[in-house]
Each structure stands twice: as C-alpha cells, then as structure tokens.
A and B are shown apart, each in its own frame.
Chain A
Amino acid sequence: MSKSSFLGADTIALHSGYQPESDHGSRAVPIYQTTSYVFDSVDEASALFNVEQGGHIYSRITNPTVAVLEQRLAALEGGTGAICTASGMSALFVTFFSLCSAGDHIVSAAQIYGSTITLLKHSLKRFNIDCTFVDINDQSAVANAMQDNTKLVFCESIGNPGLAVSNLPAIADTAHQHGVPLVVDATFATPYLCKPIAHGADVVVHSVTKWIGGHGVALGGVVIDGGNFDWLKSGRFPTLTQPYEPFHGMNFWEEFGPAALAMRIRCESMRDIGAAMSPHNAFLLLQGLETLSLRMQQHVRNAQAMVAWLQEQDAVAWVNHPDLEADAHTQKLFPKGAGSMLTFGVKGGREAGSAFINGLQLSSNLANVGDSRTLVLHPGSTTHSRLSESDLIAAGISADLIRVSVGIESIEDIQADFGLGLRAAAKVAAAQTAQAEA
C-alpha cells in the first residue's frame, strides 16, 4: 500500500506540515496573509522561478498556510503531493485541463454532481473535449466507452445525489487496462471514510468546502496526485511526458516522476488560471480538518440513526443511503459507514416534498453539503435544475427526491425537526388524496 506518512491519520490532521515556527513559536498554523515574498537576492529569485529550489514566489502559485493544508491532505490520502484551489469545481477543472487537450475524451460516471456534469458536457465541449457518461459500475459499459483519445475515467466515490457507491477497484482496473488514470471526486467520503488511492485511484479531488472544512465558512478544493500512474508507459499524456516550453522545455515526468501531475498543475494551472485558495480560507479549513475524524464519526452515527428513523415514518415513501443493502464493494470501501448523505421521498411527491422543506425549523434549506449543521435541498429544482429530464433520470434524481446532509446536532433534535416537516408533508399528501377521491 502506498504511504506518504508514518503518522496516524488523526496526528496528520493536527500536526503534519507545520511545526511551531522559530520567530514566535505560534502553536496554531499562522495565516500568511500576503500576496508575495521577499527574495534574498536576485539569484534566489531566479532559482525559485526556474524551479531550482522550493519556496514561495506569489500566493497565486503557493502560500505557506495553504501549503500546510496541501501537505496534510496529501498525507491523509496517501498521495505524493496536493494542490489546493479556490473551490472544488476549480480543482476538477485544473485536473481535466492538465490531462486533456482539444480533441481528447473523458469517460465519466453519469451519477455525479450537477455542476460537474455541466462542466464535462458543455463547458469542456467548447474546447473540443468530449465526455461519454456511463453507468460507472458496469465495467463493460466503461470499457466500451473508451476511445483512442480517452484521457481519464472520472467518478465520485459516492455519487451526488444518487448516492451510488463507485466500485473503485473494478473501475481502476478497467481504466488501467486501457492505459488511462482513474480520477475520483471523494468529497462525500473524506479521507476518514475512504482513501481512493489505496483502492486503485490515481488522482483524488475534494471540495474541501464540505466535510473537511465542516463549518460552512470557507470555499476550497484540492487535487491530490496519487503518484502511482505511469504517464510515460501510457503514451497518452504529452502534457506530462513532453517538454513544456514555458519552463525551458521542462519534462514533468522525467524531472518529478510520481509528483509530475501535481507539479504540472502548480506550474501551469495555478499560474495561468489563478484559481488559488486564499490563505485565510486555508486557515479556516485547517481548523475543520483538525477535528475531521471526530465530526465524521458523529455525522455517520446520526445519518444511520436518521435512516432507521425515516424508514419508520408513515409519511416517507422511500429512503436511500449507501449502507442500506450495501454491496460487498461498498462494505469494503466504507467499513466505517458510507457517509452522512441520505435521500428520501415523501408521500405526495414534489408538492409534499416542498411542504416538508418549508416546514423545517432547525435544518437549513440551502445549496451545500457537509456542514456540521443538517442541510436539506430539493436537487431537481436547484443544483440539478439545469439538467434535462433524461439527464435527471440518468443522474438518479426523481422529482420527489430530497437530499439531506445529516449534521452533528443532537439526534433527537434533528428527528423532532424532521417530524415537523413530515407533518406538513402529510397534510399535503392527505389533501391530494381527498382531492383525488372527490
């Protein structure tokens, strides 16, 4: 198994990448709120610009506070390096941008986040990068979608919002048989619940805005280079194995090997696209990361309790959570539980669902997940509203689907709040029944 640290995960989350600095002994990671860094000399500046030494030049490229978060996340996922970005979407974009060029092709899971579908289906299409969407757990479908110009297979470890668990080892095998890497968005899982690199993934992406940050106060994303993919042997990745003119013909694979992708993203995407994470956001996200394991335990415990509770409610039509009737691969990938997202439908369809959400007092109706507080949303009219009806079906979204990001409040209070919503939904459903009978 690939390792990047010999510390335990909880220790990494608290200590990795930072030791109290010598000037002031600050125990907390300081916020280096600066755009730029003074060079010791012209020679040093030159060496930094030409990657002859490590260090900081400009905070669009690197920043000491952001670097601590990057090094912790790389260590937690077992990667060789990490690049933090302004958001999860920018992390996805720089990954695709670094691996694909005009004329290339991506194979993606159909059941993924709505904005990622838009990126793959429409935005990248403008740059002549095509995407084929497949049932990602159907390996013959994945294999059949491969083309000579395919550059990667993409999936989410737990799909949003359908909550299908991707069989990462099987998908990785298929991808590798065709000489392409597996890129996994592991936002819903966090490294506490599942480390995709250990299961065959080559690149891991997170929206750290979500559970890793955990407090709903800062946006951020990260790309983690797994370091196991042989870009040269594949023969499909000139961006990593051919000279890169803007850096005097640098060949990222030859010079940096297992960290080639991370270095390419750093040198090109952060410079040209500039989707940098702010140092203050990195600080806030570090506060969240430090307690990730504790929060995830409570998230999962509450989610499992809510699933059981919802299944007993008369007003509920159906409940979905990956741990329900879990496949063998789900149990193997998520031995500590498959996250704190659940979906359900209420009797009475979309109208009753709206009544449910409007009836809540404690839980928040908003477009985010992974906050410590319980969040609810109707994806069909919000995050996935831009999808066509057929795309909604492919993404596993029914009209009545309510998405719940279960928080870490006292479970009795979440249940009491949902009880209010369900009573409101039941009234709508009863009115519908009465109207139908009249």
Chain B
Amino acid sequence: MYIQVDQANTFVATGGKTFTASLPTVVLVHGSGTDHRTWALQARWFAFHGFSVFAPDLPAHSLSDGEALTSIEDMGAWLVRAIDTVGVDKVHLVGHSQGFLVALEAAALLATRVQSVTAMATASAIPVNPALIETAHTNPGLAAQMMLQWGFGNQHQQGASAVPGMQPIGIGQRIMANNPLAIDLTACSTYTAGAQRAQELAAKACPSCVILAGQDRMTPKKEGLKLAQDLGAQAQVIPHMGHMLPMEAPKQSLSIMKSFIQSVENS
C-alpha cells in the first residue's frame, strides 16, 4: 500500500493482505540500501496468520519517494510518523542490520507502544569502512557488489537459494545499486546510541529477541551477542549463514520470529 509520510508517497508492503490496524502489527524494517523485499516471505506468513504487516521502504528507497534520511535518529522518528499514519497503537518492531538501529530509535519514541523488538543479523553499533562509503558515493553498483560479497554466507556465494531457481545475490544487487547506499552506510557508521537504547529497553523489560548468523562478516556474531546482552535477550544463532539472514534463511529466521512474537502475543 502507499501512504503519505511528510508529504511523500511511501510504499509499505503488507504481506499480500490488506492492512488492518486492529490486528497485532509487525513492523519489518530493512537494512542499508535494501527494501521491503528483504522480508518477502516472512511478511506473507505474518499477514496470513493473524497479523498486520507494516514493511516500509525508507524514503528514497525502491518504491518510496522523498529525500533519503541521513541519520538513524531521523529514520527512527520517520518510522514513528509512518506508523502513526495508519493509526496503529502497539507494534512488534523487527529490524535487519541497520533496520534494527532504526527500530531502537523508534522504540525510544514509541515507549510503551512497543510490544517487542526482534534484532536480526545486527549489532548495537555498525561501523562501516570509509573506503566502502566512498565507493558507495562514487560507484554505487560496485559498492553494492562489495557488500553482497561480504554480506552473503558461503552457501549463497556458491549459488544456494532458499527459493528454488532464484539468485539472491543478483536480486540484492539490483535493489541496492539503485538505493541511497552511501547515505545509509554513513548513517550507520555515525550512530552511537545503540547500546544505550538497548539497555533502556532492557530496563523497561521490553521482550526482545536476537537472531544472529554464524557466518556474519558485516555485523560479526560477537557484536550481536553484546547487543543481546544489552537487551537482556537470549541470542539464537543460525549457523552457516551470512549477514543477509532474512533472505538466506527465511524459514529458520521466520521460525524464531514467529515463535517469539506469538509468545509475546499470548503472554
């Protein structure tokens, strides 16, 4: 569906079903340079199993208009404005990589409206090599390739695909090459409030879930484990997978996500 946020046409994937504000809502936030298709399969499961799905393309990403936001804080505030547009009260926030940093900032603003947070293949800080940021400015296509080469785990580098016949690296390359990767990476690299935000959520006893990838080279597992500690969460590690976890292991990641979110709903 398309909504207006800050006078800009904004695309929000709803998992193939009409968005219904009265249902429990799962907000899925994509990472640097990517878009809602990160969650293509997970979104459909939630949408067809009693949830409303709200998976936006951040401003200037893929199907959304607007100016790209330059800080994680701005992205978090934007996400809250987007959520408010559709009249949802409480939400489950899920973020992949940079998307979880955005979720942390949104959670700080949403306060008690947050029912849970799920972190996937991420950390409380994501420093980015300046050379990669520079390449993203000068040659976005090459930067996307560098990230995908670094981001996908061994199996996918050798052509594996969770969806038969597809090439996730090729799909990722097409999406990332056309999105404001340099701005996203700069925002990630300069964001420093993650650990504090995570500890604040833990202090509020906000239910949290951390899903990590055993072969993550973008946000190494040890950094993810620190985040889990800050959140007071038990981290679950999916072995043999890389940073692009939602696309590399959609079934396994969904299994953990849905168990966790359903348990929060039922508690």
Residue B166 contacts which of A12, A249, A262 (CB distance < 8 angstroms)? Answer: A262
Known: A1-B141, A51-B44. A75 touches B159 (CB 8 A): yes
CB proximity of A9 to chain B, nearest CB, Å:
12
Tell whether, in the assembled complex, residue B158 and residue A7 are in contact, meaning their CB atoms are under 8 Å apart. Answer: yes
Q: Mark A1-42, 1 if CB is under 8 A from B, else 0.
A: 111111100001001111100000000000000000000000
Tell whether, in the assembled complex, residue B41 and residue A228 are in contact, meaning their CB atoms are under 8 Å apart. Answer: no
Report B-chain residues with C-beta under 8 Å of the C-beta of A247.
16
**Size class of the contact patch on chain A:** 35 or more
Q: CA separation between A71 and B155, bound complex, in Å?
A: 13
Q: CA separation between A79 and B166, bound complex, in Å?
A: 9
Tell whether, in the assembled complex, residue A227 and residue B250 are in contact, meaning their CB atoms are under 8 Å apart. Answer: no
Tell whether, in the assembled complex, residue A71 and residue B167 are in contact, meaning their CB atoms are under 8 Å apart. Answer: yes
Tell whether, in the assembled complex, residue B159 and residue A12 are in contact, meaning their CB atoms are under 8 Å apart. Answer: yes
Identify which of B86-94, B114-122, B171-179, B187-195 touches chain A. Answer: B171-179
Q: Within 8 Å of chain B (Cβ to Cβ): is A53?
A: yes
Known: A254-B63, A255-B16. A52 touches B41 (CB 8 A): yes
Residue A54 contacts which of B13, B41, B148 (CB distance < 8 angstroms)? Answer: B41
What residue of chain B has the Cβ atom nearest to residue A44's Cβ? B251
Residue B170 contacts which of A2, A19, A254 (CB distance < 8 angstroms)? Answer: A2
Q: CA separation between A79 and B161, bound complex, in Å?
A: 13
What residue of chain A has the Cβ atom nearest to residue B166's Cβ? A81
Report B-chain residues with C-beta under 8 Å of the C-beta of A159.
none
Report B-chain residues with C-beta under 8 Å of the C-beta of A227.
170-171, 174
Q: Within 8 Å of chain A (Cβ to Cβ): is B128?
A: no
Tell whether, in the assembled complex, residue A16 and residue B45 are in contact, meaning their CB atoms are under 8 Å apart. Answer: no
Tell whether, in the assembled complex, residue B45 and residue A54 are in contact, meaning their CB atoms are under 8 Å apart. Answer: no
Tell whether, in the assembled complex, residue A17 and residue B175 are in contact, meaning their CB atoms are under 8 Å apart. Answer: no
Q: CA separation between A63 and B169, bound complex, in Å?
A: 21
Report B-chain residues with C-beta under 8 Å of the C-beta of A52.
41-42, 44-45, 48, 254
Q: Within 8 Å of chain A (Cβ to Cβ): is B264?
A: no
Q: CA separation between A51 and B164, bound complex, in Å?
A: 12
Q: Mark B142-167, 1 if CB is under 8 A from A, else 0.
A: 00010011000001011111111111
Q: Mark B57-100, 1 if CB is under 8 A from A, else 0.
A: 00000110000000000000000000000000000000000000
Q: Within 8 Å of chain B (Cβ to Cβ): is A275?
A: no
Report B-chain residues with C-beta under 8 Å of the C-beta of A81.
163, 165-167, 170-171
Q: CA separation between A402 and B205, bound complex, in Å?
A: 80
Q: Within 8 Å of chain A (Cβ to Cβ): is B184?
A: no
Report B-chain residues with C-beta under 8 Å of the C-beta of A373.
none
Tell whether, in the assembled complex, residue A254 and residue B169 are in contact, meaning their CB atoms are under 8 Å apart. Answer: no
Q: Within 8 Å of chain B (Cβ to Cβ): is A266?
A: yes
Report B-chain residues with C-beta under 8 Å of the C-beta of A64.
164
Q: Within 8 Å of chain A (Cβ to Cβ): is B37?
A: yes
Q: Within 8 Å of chain B (Cβ to Cβ): is A104?
A: no
Q: Within 8 Å of chain A (Cβ to Cβ): is B17?
A: yes
What residue of chain B has the Cβ atom nearest to residue A51's Cβ? B44
Tell whether, in the assembled complex, residue B173 and residue A3 are in contact, meaning their CB atoms are under 8 Å apart. Answer: yes
Q: Within 8 Å of chain A (Cβ to Cβ): is B105?
A: no
B40, B63, B162, B174: residue with the most chain A Cβ atoms closer than 10 Å? B174
Tell whether, in the assembled complex, residue B169 and residue A6 are in contact, meaning their CB atoms are under 8 Å apart. Answer: yes
Q: Within 8 Å of chain A (Cβ to Cβ): is B35?
A: yes
Tell whether, in the assembled complex, residue A2 and residue B174 are in contact, meaning their CB atoms are under 8 Å apart. Answer: yes
What residue of chain A has the Cβ atom nearest to residue B1's Cβ? A254
What residue of chain A has the Cβ atom nearest to residue B39's Cβ? A255
Tell whether, in the assembled complex, residue A7 and residue B40 are in contact, meaning their CB atoms are under 8 Å apart. Answer: no
Known: A17-B160, A54-B164. A78 touches B41 (CB 8 A): no
Q: Within 8 Å of chain B (Cβ to Cβ): is A47?
A: yes
Tell whether, in the assembled complex, residue B174 and residue A228 are in contact, meaning their CB atoms are under 8 Å apart. Answer: yes
Known: A12-B159, A248-B17. A257 touches B170 (CB 8 A): no
Tell whether, in the assembled complex, residue A2 and residue B173 are in contact, meaning their CB atoms are under 8 Å apart. Answer: yes
Q: Within 8 Å of chain A (Cβ to Cβ): is B11?
A: yes
CB proximity of B217 to chain A, nearest CB, Å:
13
Report A222-250 residues with CB < 8 Å from chain B CB: 227-228, 232, 247-250
Report A64-99 residues with CB < 8 Å from chain B CB: 64, 66-67, 70-72, 74-75, 78-84
Q: CA separation between A5 and B171, bound complex, in Å?
A: 11
Known: A71-B159, A250-B16. A4 touches B169 (CB 8 A): yes
Tell whether, in the assembled complex, residue A50 and residue B48 are in contact, meaning their CB atoms are under 8 Å apart. Answer: yes
What residue of chain B has the Cβ atom nearest to residue A2's Cβ? B173
Q: Within 8 Å of chain B (Cβ to Cβ): is A309?
A: no
Tell whether, in the assembled complex, residue A83 and residue B48 are in contact, meaning their CB atoms are under 8 Å apart. Answer: no
Tell whether, in the assembled complex, residue A258 and residue B171 are in contact, meaning their CB atoms are under 8 Å apart. Answer: yes
Q: CA separation between A377 and B216, bound complex, in Å?
A: 55
Q: Within 8 Å of chain B (Cβ to Cβ): is A62?
A: yes
Tell whether, in the assembled complex, residue A74 and residue B167 are in contact, meaning their CB atoms are under 8 Å apart. Answer: yes
What residue of chain A has the Cβ atom nearest to residue B144's Cβ? A3
Tell whether, in the assembled complex, residue A257 and residue B145 are in contact, meaning their CB atoms are under 8 Å apart. Answer: no
Residue A82 contacts which of B165, B169, B251, B254 (CB distance < 8 angstroms)? Answer: B165
Q: Within 8 Å of chain B (Cβ to Cβ): is A423?
A: no
Q: Mark A368-398, 1 if CB is under 8 A from B, else 0.
A: 0000000000000000000000000000000
A-B contact list, 28 entries, CB within 8 Å? A4-B173, A7-B158, A17-B158, A17-B161, A50-B48, A51-B44, A52-B41, A52-B44, A52-B254, A54-B164, A55-B164, A62-B164, A71-B159, A71-B160, A74-B165, A75-B170, A79-B170, A81-B170, A82-B167, A83-B165, A228-B174, A249-B16, A255-B37, A255-B40, A256-B37, A257-B62, A262-B165, A266-B165
A-B residue pairs, 7 tightest by C-beta: A16-B159, A4-B170, A54-B163, A258-B174, A67-B164, A70-B165, A52-B45
Residues of B within 8 A of A (CB): 11, 13, 16-17, 35, 37, 40-42, 44-45, 48, 62-63, 141, 145, 148-149, 155, 157-167, 169-171, 173-175, 250-251, 254
Supply 8 further A-B pairs (C-beta < 8 A) apart from A72-B159, A248-B48: A5-B169, A18-B159, A52-B41, A52-B48, A74-B170, A80-B166, A228-B174, A258-B170
Residues of A within 8 A of B (CB): 1-7, 12, 15-19, 47, 50-56, 62-64, 66-67, 70-72, 74-75, 78-84, 227-228, 232, 247-251, 254-259, 262, 266
